[in-house]
Chain A
Amino acid sequence: MRRAATIALVAAVRHRVELRRRRDHPQLGLAVFLGAAVGTLFVVGSLPIPYYEAFWPEPGAFHYGTLVADEPDRVLVRAREIAAIALVVIAGLAGLSATTSEDWDSPPVELLTAVPLPTAILGVLGDELLESSWFVVPVAVAGSLAFAAGTGQPVVLVGVLFGSLVIVATGLVIGTAIGIGTRAAIRGSPRLYRSRNAVGFVALFVTFVGLVASRTAGGALARTPLGWYGDLLLVTTAGVDATLAYGVVATVGSGVSLAAALAVVVVSARVLWFAEVDHDHDHSHEHERDDRSHTPTTETNGVDTESTASTATDSSVQSPLETTLGHVLSRPTMAVTRATWRRIRRSPNALVFVVLPFAIVGPATANVAIQWPQLVPVLVTLYAAAAVGLGTTLNPIGNERIALPAILTTPTGRRSVLRGHAVAALVPGVPTAVTVAIVAGSVTGYSVGQLAALVVVAVALTVGGVGVSLGIGSFLPNLKGPTAASLSPPELYAMVGYLFAMSLLSTPAFAGFAAIGSGNANPSELPTLPIYGPAFAVVVTVLLAGSVGFAGYRYAARTLDRYEAGGE
């Protein structure tokens, strides 16, 4: 009992710290609110309220509540599917969060010297679960209320609410255990451990897209014991033939699973916190030095160190690319660009979101290819362009947080930092997006004119996207990281906002390129000459991406201008 109270105290205090951090940056709280609001809209679905029905016509919990009286079997089938999918999705998100969370990197010393290790671990876990619940619990409660309202039977709420909370708790704890357990299992391999975020994101989103794209996934999951949670949801709903035994087994199973999951968390966190693995120190920089310097090295204190003579020339030894850029860029911007590349190479986790568009490119492209094959190159180009802005430009202030005093007290520091991050993303990004556009357009059969139009769209979206990325990243910075002086991945909500903005920016391109073949008797035969559609796409995309991108850059610059130390 005393231990439970201590765990609750640890979780509550850590959570209070997080809440206060969010309060200092209200836009982060707003982002959570918007995320939960959108999730609630999806789950609750359409409601018989004037205007609302037109605003959100998709059926959801309320609609299925109204079907209970007439189609109870259909409701039961749907409940089993939704319960099973919800468990998988929540567990997946919690697993990903545990994979990326800095809380499990090193032990909180202040706790280890005050409370037993399991208490400290469970306290930290409690804080993590509370944070995850910000988003999930409001959605679950709103969905339960909507369903009960749809049935018109208040007693329904008891079963649905209890079942929803069991699903949420089970998904969160088991997902976290899987995430931390996996992380502990690969802790011994520096290479695997460093790439855990990227692999986790890809795996999760491929799973999600698979669930969404496949019409049979929900049904298949519902036939497993995961579907029994649907019975638990409807156990107090009169008229629905939910199996009480399934509901009881689901509840008991959750209890057993939670106990096992907590044990896994304790064991895994112990491994993570006390592993003696030098995973953060790759020696790429030493190899780098070896590559670029042919001067003899001296052995000092067991570490290869270049002689004084050779180090004196280090700053002048640059790659051909850096030398070329050095002729074009100002010295401050080049300094930021070079430092950003070096930092990314040594903290690749900061680029974890870059792989995101590629994770969904396969399934989504396959769907589009069936109906609108002429749009596949535009879609693939959009993915490539969007990926460019998902790196350090999406967290320009968060990545500089401890260095801001130095940057802001240099004459051109503010602008140089933004430009440097932008150049660091665009130099590899523009050629990549252009290559993707040319390859995809050529394979699809675009004419030379259409290819040229697509290339211009690719460049506009990439350059404009980086501006948008800087703006959104300045508005929603991620100010947490492995340490105050290291790169950190962008804020999750910044990533969502950025992808949403990019999808809007690319709308004219889709509209324009959709015109290809529209006047043709056989739409599968693409015309050999560009028509007004792609030209429209080029003009509008360049104007839109250019103006919005510039606005994003200006916003980021103004945010840095307004920055006040001590007032952040």
Chain B
Amino acid sequence: MSDLAIETVGLTKRYGDETAVSDLSLEIDRGTVYGFLGPNGAGKTTTMRILTTLTRPTSGSATVAGHSIEDRDAVTPHIGYLPEDPPIYDELTGREQLEYVAGLRDLPSEEASERIDDMLERFDLLEDADKRIDAYSKGMRQKVGVIQAVLHEPTVAFLDEPTSGLDPRAARTMRNTIADLADQEMTIFLSTHILPVVDELADTIGVLHNGRLVAEGAPDTLKHRAETGEEGSLEDVFLAVTDETEYAETESEPTA
């Protein structure tokens, strides 16, 4: 079996005349955290949708957990996905929602219950687990969304802005959880705007701009190559590689 959790070759997605993702090639090792950065509209969500089989690419190919994304049935058992809006039902309680997803994933009841309780406790949701989700705050909904994305211990978890709406304590719990999951050999594909989160967690960072991968590398490597020429912050890197003028001039290979 390949050591790569995700591999894409020339992945491209067009909507009419608009190119959302252009010639994207990635190689992401198993058990790592891949921080996926980019300005609004860069194509991050489209990339995640392609890799989770929710959208078909216009051209190019990709494998997730060793399976082609063309084969949805082969890919889905190995992935978990938290989209920007957590896919949860208002009418269910947090626990019912998680039991529902565990059922959909065909997890045995006892095993599911254990995992659900463990995760609810970890995210400080146990006390509110039997309240209906329509009474939850944004952060609580986000927590339920994250738990259900990793409940079945997938090979690859795609998390779109997992810390969105979380208070500092919950955000800390989320970061710890992601680190723990990566320690358990789960690959995390993490899309976020919050650079310190990526800085802290990611083994590799990819920066997408106008659908193209304009920079890729370990956080420290990228920081060294910041525009200033000195050791800069991840923000410097982000601003440099996503600068329209700079990008138009270089139009180059990823800064790796």
Contact = CB atoms under 8 A, between A and B. Distances in A.
Interface residues of B, number: 56
A289 B130 contact: yes
Contacts of B132: 281, 285, 346
Interface in B37-68: 45-46, 49, 52-56
A564 B56 contact: yes
Given A314-B99, A330-B106, A406-B101, A339 B89 contact: yes
A262 interface: no
Nearest to B81: A409
Contact of A409 (B46, B53, B91, B106): B53
A365 interface: no
A190 to B, nearest CB: 14
A300 B128 CA distance: 9
B96 to A, nearest CB: 6
Nearest to A330: B106
Given A402-B85, A405-B83, A313 B76 contact: no
A487 B89 CA distance: 8
Contacts of A565: 49, 54-55, 83
A416 B112 CA distance: 18
A513 B62 CA distance: 59
Contacts of A301: 127
A416 B102 CA distance: 13
A303 interface: yes
B95 A311 contact: yes
B109 A305 contact: no
Interface in B81-114: 81, 83, 85-93, 95-96, 99-107, 109-110, 112-114
Given A305-B127, A312-B117, A486-B89, A411 B76 contact: yes
B81 A315 contact: no
B133 A485 contact: yes
B94 to A, nearest CB: 11
Most A CB atoms within 10 A — which of B90, B126, B129? B90
Interface in A273-322: 280-281, 285-286, 289, 300-301, 303, 305-306, 308, 311-316
B130 A286 contact: yes
Given A312-B117, A332-B104, A281 B92 contact: no
Interface string B132-145: 11110000000000
Interface in B180-205: none
A30 interface: no
Given A311-B130, A565-B54, A335 B104 contact: yes
A519 interface: no
Contact of B129 (A311, A402, A484): A311
Interface of A: 280-281, 285-286, 289, 300-301, 303, 305-306, 308, 311-316, 330-332, 334-336, 338-339, 342-343, 346-347, 402-413, 416, 482-487, 563-567
